[in-house]
Amino acid sequence: MKWGPASGYDLATERSSVILYEYPLNERIRTYLRLQHLFARFNQLSQRTEAIDHHFALTTIFEIMEVASRSELKSEILKDIERHKQQLNSYRGNPSISEDALDLIVAQLDQRFEALNTMVGKIGAVLNESDFLNSLRSRTAIPGGTCEFDLPAYHAWQHHEPAARQADLFQWSQHLAHLASAIQLMLKMMRESGSTQKVMATGGQLQQNLPQGRNFQLLRLRIDDSLNLTPEISCNRLLVVIRLMQQQADGKLLASKEDTPFEMTLCA
pLDDT digits (tens, 9 = 90+) for 225-249: 999 999 999 988 889 999 999 988 8
**Contact of 22 with 33, CB cutoff 8 Å:** yes
**Contact of 78 with 113, CB cutoff 8 Å:** yes
Is the torsion defined by CA of 160, 161, 162, 165 positive or negative?
A: negative
64 and 185 part of one domain: yes
- Summarised one tens digit per residue, pLDDT across range 169-191 is 999 999 999 999 999 999 999 99
Please give the Cα distance from 36 to 34 (Å, whole number): 6
pLDDT value, residue 212: 83
**How many CA atoms are closer than 13 Å to the CA of 52, on its beta-carbon side?**
0
Instruction: Give the rounded distance of the alpha carbon of 232 from its chain centre.
Output: 20
Residue 52 maps to which CATH number? 1.10.3900.10
64 and 137 part of one domain: yes
Nearest to 119 by CA among 80, 82, 75, 79: 75
19 and 113 part of one domain: yes
Q: Could you tell me which residues come within 8 angstroms of residue 146 by beta carbon, excluding any fewer than 6 positions away?
A: 55, 136, 139, 140, 154
pLDDT value, residue 16: 61
Across 96-100, 179-183, 201-205, least confident range? 96-100
Residue 219 maps to which CATH number? 2.60.440.10
155 and 248 part of one domain: no
231 and 250 part of one domain: yes
Q: What is the mean pLDDT of residues 123-136?
A: 93
Rg, C-alpha atoms of the chain: 21
First-to-last alpha carbon distance for the chain, in angstroms, is 34
* Boundaries of domain holding 114: 4-189
Q: What is the mean pLDDT of residues 31-50?
A: 98
Give the Å distances, CA to CA, from 34 to 9, 89, 218. Answer: 11, 29, 13
Type of residue numbered 214: R
Please give the Cα distance from 232 to 207 (Å, whole number): 12
Name the domain count of the chain: 2
76 and 19 part of one domain: yes
211 and 182 part of one domain: no
- The pTM for the full model equals 0.89
**Contact of 267 with 191, CB cutoff 8 Å:** yes
134 and 236 part of one domain: no
